[in-house]
Amino acid sequence: MNFAQLGLAEPLVRALEAKGYTTPTPIQAQSIPTLLQGRDLLGIAQTGTGKTAAFVLPSIQRMVEAPKQVHPTHCRMLVLAPTRELASQIADSARDYGKFSKMSVATVFGGTSINKNRQDMARGVDILVATPGRLLDLIEQRFVSLAMLEILVLDEADQMLDLGFIHALRKIVRMLPKQRQTLFFSATMPNAIRELADQFLKEPVTVKVAPVSTTAERVEQFATHVNQSEKQALLTIHLRNPEIERCLVFTRTKHGADRVVKLLGHADIPANAIHGNKSQPQRERALAEFKSGKVKVLIATDIAARGIDVSGVSHVFNFELPNVPEQYVHRIGRTARAGASGVAISFVADDERPYLRDIEKLTRVKPTALPLPEGFQNEAAKIKAARPAGADDDRRRDDSGRHRAPPRATHSARPTGERPAGGAGRPAGGARPGGPGRPGGNAGRPAGGPRRQGSGNGGGGGRRSPAG
C-alpha cells in the first residue's frame, strides 16, 4: 500500500516523495483514512512509529479541501505538545508535509521571545503548534484566539498528564468550539489518560499498533549492576567503543546531566547536555551538533528528550534509571526509529533495583544481564584515584541513609517555566516540600525575605516511511 491509496492528495504525496517516504507505517495506514472522514481518534503507538505524519497529513488535506481565510490571532488547527523540542519537531514536519499545500505554520512555546510569538500570530495561521503554558499566556493577553479552531491534537498525551498539565488542558478545551475534530496520541495508556480521552473525544475510533506499555521490539535491552560511584567508568568504556556512532545518555536531573558532561570531558569524550535550564539557543545548538555528528554523545533529561527525533541513534544509555517506569519506554524509543534496530543499556545501582522491578512489571520484559566489561576495574581505579578526597559520589539516599522508595504517582518534574494552570502539583499557598538536604517548608529563608524568581524558560535503517 502507498500513500495515494490511503486517499491523500497529490501535493501531499509529492511532499512525502521529496522526503523519500513511500510506504505508510501501521499507525499511518490505520489513522489516515479515519481522519480524512473527520472522525475523532485515540491513537496508541510507541514513539518513533510515525504519529506526526499520521495526524498532520490528513489534517492538511481536510483544511485544503475546505479553504478558509484565517482571521488575525486565530488558527484552524492546534497541536499541543509537552515540550518545546517536540513542538519544534512537529512544526518542522508540518512545514515539510504542507509545502505544496500553502499551509502556514507557527510555534508558541517558552524559552522564545513572546513578542515574536505575537508577531507570528498577528495575521493568523493554519497550524499552530504550542506548549500549554505559553499558549495560555498569549490567550490571556488576547494575542491568540481559538474561536475558529477546527482540529485539536494532543500529542504525547501521557506526558502531558505526567507534567501536571491536566488543568491547563481543561482550561484550553473550554475555549474551543464544540464542533471540532479531536485527536489523542499517546505511547502509553494509563487509566488517567483514558478518562481524559473520554472527556474530550466524541465517539472516537481507537487505533493501536502495539500493546499498551510495551517497548519497541527492535530494541535490545540490557542491564548492568554497578556501584553508583563507578558508573562514570562504565559509561566511559562503553563510549570508547567505535561501533557506537551516536548515542543518548539519560539522567534523572538537570544537575546530573551537566555533571556527566563534565566527567566525560575529563576522559576526552566530548558531549553536550540538553535540559530545562538551557536556553533555547543552547538547546538548538546541542541538537544541531548531535544531528550533524560533530558531537556523538548527548546527555538528556526525560523532559528535554521528548522531542528528539534523530536517525542513527544506535544506543541509549540509562545512566540513571527513571523513577517513573513509563519514562523508560520513551527513553529507549529514541533508538530503533524508522525501521532501524537499537540497543538500550541500563546502569543499575543497588538503590535503583526497585525502579528496575517497576520497569519490568510495566514492560513485561526483563533486560538481559550484561557483565562489567573488560578493563572496568582498571578504569574505575584510575577515576577514583583522580577524585578529590571526600568527593560526593551522588548516592541518592535520604537523611537517614535509607533507600528512598520510588514514587507510585506517574507525575515527573515539569520543564522550567512551563507552569500548569491552577498551580498543579503544589497546594495553593502551601510551602515547597522539603527534600534530601533541604528543610521542609520555608525553613532557611528569613521571614518576609524575597523569593528568588524563576527563569520563566521552558515548555517540553530503512527510512521508507515517516517516523513522526
Per-residue model confidence as pLDDT tens for the chain (468 residues): 889 999 999 999 999 999 888 889 899 999 999 999 999 999 988 766 788 999 999 999 999 999 999 999 999 999 999 888 889 889 999 999 999 998 999 999 987 889 999 999 999 999 999 999 999 999 999 999 999 999 999 998 887 877 778 889 889 989 999 999 999 988 777 787 788 888 889 999 999 886 555 555 678 999 999 999 999 999 999 999 888 888 999 999 899 999 999 999 989 999 999 887 888 788 888 988 998 889 999 999 887 666 676 777 889 999 999 988 878 888 888 887 665 678 999 999 999 999 999 999 988 899 999 999 999 999 999 888 887 655 544 444 333 333 444 444 444 444 433 444 444 444 344 444 444 444 444 444 444 444 434 333 344 444 444 544
The correct answer on CATH 3.40.190.10 for the domain covering 4-208 is: no
**462, 338 contact by CB (below 8 A):** yes
Q: How many Cβ atoms are within 10 Å of 389's Cβ, its own excluded?
A: 4
Q: How many CB atoms lie within 10 A of CB 245?
A: 11
Looking at the chain, which residues constitute the CATH 3.40.50.300 domain(s)?
A: 4-208, 219-386
The 315-318 sheet, strands edge to edge:
272-274, 297-300, 247-250, 315-318, 342-348, 219-225, 368-369
CA distance 323 to 415: 17
Distance, in Å, from the CA atom of 23 to the CA atom of 402, rounded to the nearest integer, reads 53
Domain at 219-386: CATH code: 3.40.50.300
396 within 8 A of 351, measured Cβ to Cβ: yes
Determine phi and psi for 181, rounding to 5 degrees.
-105, 130
Exposed / middle / buried, residue 373 (Cβ in 10 Å: 0-12, 13-18, 19+): middle
Which residue shows C-alpha cell 498525551? 157
Could you give the angle at the alpha carbon of 174 between the alpha carbons of 169 and 176, nearest 5°?
100
444: how many CB neighbours lie within 10 A of its CB? Answer: 9
**SS3 sequence, the chain?**
CCCHHHCCCHHHHHHHHHCCCCCCCHHHHHHHHHHHCCCCEEEECCCCCCHHHHHHHHHHHHHHHCCCCCCCCCEEEEEECCCHHHHHHHHHHHHHHCCCCCCCEEEECCCCCHHHHHHHHCCCEEEEEECHHHHHHHHHCCCCCCCCCCEEEECCHHHHHHCCCHHHHHHHHCCCCCCCEEEEEECCCCHHHHHHHHHHCCCCEEEECCCCCCCCCCEEEEEEECCHHHHHHHHHHHHCCCCCCCEEEECCCHHHHHHHHHHHHHCCCCCEEECCCCCHHHHHHHHHHHHHCCCCEEEECHHHHCCCCCCCCCEEEECCCCCCHHHHHHHHCCCCCCCCCEEEEEEECHHHHHHHHHHHHHHCCCCEECCCCCCHHHHHHHHHHHCCCCCCCCCCECCCCCECCCCCCCCCCCCCCCCCCCCCCCCCCCCCCCECCECCCCCCCCCCCCCCCCCCCCCCCCCCCCCC
pLDDT at 143: 96
